[in-house]
Structure 1
Amino acid sequence: MKISIIVAVAEDNVIGAKGMLPWHLSDDLKRFKSITMGHHLLMGRSTYESIGRALPGRTSLVLSKDKNFKAEGCFTFQDFKEAVEFAKQRKEKELMIVGGGQIYRLALPIATRIYITQVFRKYEGDVTFPEIKKDEWKEVLKEPHLASDPPFEFKILEKRK
């Protein structure tokens, strides 16, 4: 099973502010939907709460330290490896890691692909994406959207072997 990260990142690696995305990019949301449709999504409790529901057409796996936490229409886990193994046992071909910051930090060492939307603007935020070591990843796709407000680009990174 392939493990992929999908993330939108502003300058200074900001990915969230007070439980929300600090920007709105409809093209990015459409891309997120098309890439993740039909897959298992692994997210932390805060990310789930910011979305507010299980996403249609996808299987949501929610990680929470609270063993009593329940998320309607989702599978809940307290252990990251257990959630990954669950997706593997269900024959998932590409597990999508969709946030937040703590979950990305757990996934980055084992991920083999990153779908990244790089937002070219600074935002105040309280959640960041971990540093990507450039020598460990190669860019296989770059699609600029510089006329957008804010300007951004879609990229796909693959882990070097």
Structure 2
Amino acid sequence: MIAFLWAQDRNGVIGNKGTLPWYLPNDLKYFKEMTQGNAVVMGRKTFEGMNKRPLPNRINIVMTNDKEYQAEGVLIMHSRQEVLDFAKDYENDLFITGGSGVFKEFMGDADLLHRTMIDGEFEGDTFIPEIDWTQWKLVNVEQGITDDRNKYPHQFETYTRN
């Protein structure tokens, strides 16, 4: 199964200067719970925004056009087809985690969307690509808890393809 997993603000912002424009521990915990034991696919800029550190207990796949690119602890792939070939034989879930170009590349391949919707507006330079919401059905919404550490109202949404 191929799923998208991302957090966004009201305006579709998903990143700013290679990092998340907010600090929301609930979302980080949700991301970890969803992806542990599975594979995550991200672009080179997203990976480098994480200080080039692979996420533990996951297969980390970094997509790049740079044929010379190397990084420790990750699989480097150069095309959508290479990732799809991997997914075909992979028994667990494959999560597309960003950035914008990687989401756009796999828009027609996703079976599920997991979106953290943050009720706020943030400065950003990276946006979730346009999604044709007529192809998707909202199947679950869970309100996130706002507290001293999680200052922004948010909810976790899951969509299946119609």
TM over 0.5, yes or no?
yes
Task: Name the CA distance, whole Å, in 1 between partners of 2:4 and 2:118.
Answer: 16
User: Residues 37 and 57 of structure 1 are in contact (CA less than 8 Å); yes or no, is this contact kept in structure 2?
Assistant: yes
TM-score norm. by structure 2 comes to 0.93
> What corresponds to 2:101 in structure 1?
102
User: Residues 112 and 161 of structure 2 are in contact (CA less than 8 Å); yes or no, is this contact kept in structure 1?
Assistant: yes
> What corresponds to 1:81 in structure 2?
81
User: What SS is found at the alignment partner of 1:105?
Assistant: helix
Q: Which 4+ runs in 1 deviate beyond 2 A?
A: 145-148
1:59 and 2:59 aligned: yes
| TM-aligned CA distance change 1:146 to 1:74, over 3 Å | closer
Structure 2: gaps spanning 5 or more residues = none
Task: Name the CA distance, whole Å, in 1 between partners of 2:161 and 2:140.
Answer: 13
User: What SS is found at the alignment partner of 2:27?
Assistant: helix
> What corresponds to 1:32 in structure 2?
31
TM-score norm. by structure 1 comes to 0.93
Per-residue CA deviations over 1:14-72 (Å, capped at 9, x if unaligned) read 00000010001101101100100011111100111111211110001110111000111
User: What SS is found at the alignment partner of 1:99?
Assistant: coil
CA RMSD of aligned residues (A): 1.2
User: What SS is found at the alignment partner of 2:119?
Assistant: strand
What's the offset of the Cα at 1:146? 6.5
What's the offset of the Cα at 1:110? 1.1
Task: Name the CA distance, whole Å, in 2 between partners of 1:58 and 1:125.
Answer: 27
Percent of matched pairs sharing the same residue: 35
User: What SS is found at the alignment partner of 1:122?
Assistant: coil
Structure 1: gaps spanning 5 or more residues = none
